[in-house]
Chains A and B, each alone.
Chain A
Amino acid sequence: MTPSRRDFLKIAGISTLSLVAPAILSPVWAKDKLTIPGGAPLTAKRWGMAIDASKCPVGCVDCITACHGEHNVPDIGNPKDEVKWIWQEKFSSVFPHESHTYLRESQAQLKLPVMCNQCANPPCVRVCPTQSTFQRQDGIVMMDYHRCIGCRLCMAACPYGARSMNYRNPQPFIAKTNPDFPTRTKGVVEKCNFCDERLVRGLKPACVAACTKNALVFGDMENPRSEIRLLIEKRFNLRRRASLGTQPQIYYIV
C-alpha cells in the first residue's frame, strides 16, 4: 500500500520531532555534567613565553619554587643527580655567542631563568625512539612518562640541557608532594611541560603566575594581538642558540 501524501507528511514530521526532542527534553542525568574545576581551558595555536630578566630582583627564585613545588620536582642536593624544570644561568652561559669581555656589568651579572624552550622544531622529539616525547598541536613539547625507557637520547639531542634524568627514585627527595600531579620514577627523563595541566584548567603556567614582577609573559605566538606578540615586537629579544634551527619559543628581552 502506498501511503497518502498526508500520511507521508505525518511520518516525516514525527521523525523530525524525534530527532530534535532529545536535545530539548534532556535526560535528568545530563544535568549532572562535570567540567574541569577552574575556568575555560586556555588554547592557542602556538604557546610561547617572553622573559624580561632585567625585571628579576637579585636572588628571586619565586618561579623556580612555584614550578618545582607544583610538579613534584625532587631536590636531590647533588649536582650529578640534579633534576630541574626551570633554573637560573648567567648571561654568558645562556647566550655564549652574544656575550663578550666588555659586557655591561649589570648584564654580565644577570641571572636568567632558563627552561625547556618548547622548540617548534624539537630535536628531542626527532630522536625519541618510543615517541615518548612528542609535540602537541599547540606547540607544547610533551613527555609521556609512561613510554619513556630512559635511553637519554633526548638529553643528548637537546642543545639547552633542559632535560633531567632520574638516576634514582625521586620520591624521597620531594619536600612536599603535590597530590594533583604525579611524581616520576627512577629511569625516566623529565622536563618542563609548559604547565599543560594548568592550561586545561584555564590557569597560566605556575612560573608566570608566581612572578610578581611580570618578568615572564606567556601567550599565543600566532595571535598578532596577544600580549606576548606586542611585547616582542616592541622590545629587542634573543632566542637561545637560534642558529641551530630548533626554533625555540622562549624569547629573552635583553
Chain B
Amino acid sequence: MKLRNLGKIAAGILIFVVLITFLFWYGQGKSFLQPALSLDTPAIAQLKELRCVEDTVFMRTNHMKLLVTWRNGTVREGNRLYTATDGRIFETKLSGTCLKCHSNKQQFCDRCHNYVGAKPNCFSCHIIPAEVRK
C-alpha cells in the first residue's frame, strides 16, 4: 500500500496525541491556589481534640466511601451507629452528625467540591439546616 497522504496522516496523529495528553502537560509547572477550608464553627471550637469521625488524612481521602458505607448500613441493614477506630460512637446521619460540626457547608464542603468539580447529589434530598444554608 502506498501512503500518498503521509503528511496529513502524521499531522492528524500528532494533533490526536497532543489533545489526548493535554491533561498531563497543561498544568505542569503552574501553581494553583488550593481551596482553604474553614473549620471555624461553634461546634468545632468546643471540641477538646480536633478530630473528625476518623483522622483528617483518612477523612480527606475516604469521606465519600465512609458516607456510602453509612448510607447502605443505615437504610439497608438498620445499623444507625458507627464505631470509630478510637472507640467513639457516632450516629450515622449526614444532616444530624456531619453538618452538626461542619455547619459552614459553603466554606467547607462546597469549596473543595467546586474546586474539583465534584457534584454529589446528597443535598437534593438531605436537608441542609436553615443555619447552614444562609
Instruction: Kindly list chain B residues whose C-beta atoms are within 8 Å of the C-beta of A142.
Output: 75-76
Q: How far is the CA of A134 from the CA of B126 in the complex (A)?
A: 21
Q: How far is the CA of A142 from the CA of B87 in the complex (A)?
A: 30
Q: In the complex, what residue of chain A is closest to B89 when comparing beta carbons?
A: A34
8 contacts between A and B (CB under 8 A): A32-B87, A32-B89, A36-B81, A36-B91, A136-B78, A146-B71, A183-B127, A184-B125
Instruction: Kindly list chain A residues whose C-beta atoms are within 8 Å of the C-beta of B87.
Output: 27, 29-30, 32
Given A36-B80, A36-B91, A185-B121; 17 other pairs, CB 8 A cutoff: A27-B87, A30-B87, A34-B89, A35-B81, A36-B81, A72-B127, A144-B76, A179-B95, A179-B127, A179-B129, A180-B96, A182-B127, A183-B126, A184-B125, A185-B124, A185-B125, A196-B78
Interface assignment of A104: CB less than 8 Å from any CB of chain B = no
Evaluate whether A200 and B91 lie within 8 angstroms (CB atoms) in the complex, with A182-B125, A182-B127, A184-B125 already known: no
Query: Interface range on chain B: under 10, 10 to 19, 20 to 34, or 35 or more?
Result: 20 to 34
CB < 8 Å: which of B76, B95, B121, B129 contacts A134?
B76
CB < 8 Å: which of A33, A35, A177 contacts B127?
A177
List residues 84-114 of chain B with CB under 8 A from any CB of chain A.
Answer: 86-91, 95-96
Instruction: Kindly list chain A residues whose C-beta atoms are within 8 Å of the C-beta of B95.
Output: 179-180, 182
The answer on a CB contact under 8 Å between A29 and B125 is no
Instruction: Kindly list chain A residues whose C-beta atoms are within 8 Å of the C-beta of B86.
Output: 29
Query: Chain A nearest CB: distance from B77 CB in Å?
Result: 9
Q: How far is the CA of A112 from the CA of B113 in the complex (A)?
A: 49
Query: Chain A nearest CB: distance from B3 CB in Å?
Result: 50
